[in-house]
Copies of this chain bind each other. A is one copy, B any other.
Amino acid sequence: MKLSELGEDAVVTRLTRSLRLDNRVKLGAGDDCAVVETAGRLLLLKSDCVIEGIHFLPESNPKWIGWKAMCRSISDIAAMGGTPLDALVTMAVRSDTEFTWLRRVYAGLKLAARTYEVNLVGGETARSPGPFFLSVALTGSVEDGKYIARSGGRPGDQLYVTGKLGGSLEGRHMRFRPRVAEAHWLVSRFPVHAMMDLSDGLASDLPRLALASRLGFEVDTGSLPLHRGCRAENGLSDGEDYELLFAVPVPVKKQLEAEWQGKFPKLRLTAIGKLVEKGATHFFGKGYDHFAR
């Protein structure tokens, strides 16, 4: 069977069965990051990649290619409530590539590293026979060993997203800002039960969070915070928003919204729905009422 017939989630689930994991591993494949006890502390580990023709185009600004590659992994560390630490950059590049182009890619990597206080400590540079490939592996720390997985959601939890969704292909998919400070503030002040970053779009990502928590969800698509010119469909399916999706108990709703407004006045926080007992995996709203794929 071809991978395209199985789908990404099924492929990953099948491949990562029966992995050898010792008791240092608190969380393995399947969440935003792995969590591994290292020298008595919890270390977050994540790698991700961008590929020419898939995540960017040959004519894309090389600086933002580097930025995007670094920030995708940073966004995953943020989504665990963590602080990014050290990055390894692995790239495959055609030998007829202009050095100045590659230097601009690196300028983007370095800019992201500086912005988020990440050390770029090494990696590997190899020759590619075709598309440019750029992978960033990243370590991260979590305060007091506390990390937020996708699996901690509880029935009735309020679901929030930060920022606005949809239309990322206009340019935001390259120049997004990982929500490191926001996530860190959130988990230090509120009982966040579950969290992840939105990379494939709410319609793909929320079912993953719900499944990990063994719950369903109800989301009113009329409530989605959308970028200008976007419809609910875009907010659900365009993907590459790199905003936070998280679940908190309902009683903190009022305080969270008030404090958020004071702390991050320029970034919207929107209650989009709830986690519910297993069974219901529902997006509903005007002209949109079907089960999530």
Contacts and interface: CB of A to CB of B under 8 A. Distances in A.
A22 B121 CA distance: 10
Interface in A82-114: 85-86, 88-90, 92-100, 102-103, 106, 110, 113-114
B137 A90 contact: yes
Contact of A122 (B33, B89, B100, B141): B33
Contacts of A53: 129-130
A25 B123 contact: no
A62 B230 CA distance: 44
Given A11-B125, A21-B121, A129-B131, A4 B95 contact: yes
A147 to B, nearest CB: 13
A102 B3 contact: yes
How many copies of this protein are present in the complex? Answer: 2
A58 B89 CA distance: 25
Interface in A1-60: 1-4, 6, 8, 11-12, 14-16, 18-22, 24-25, 28-31, 33-34, 36, 38-41, 43, 45-49, 51-55
Given A18-B110, A49-B126, 17 more contacts: A1-B100, A2-B98, A3-B94, A3-B96, A3-B102, A11-B99, A14-B103, A15-B106, A15-B125, A19-B119, A20-B114, A29-B121, A31-B122, A39-B41, A45-B86, A47-B122, A47-B123
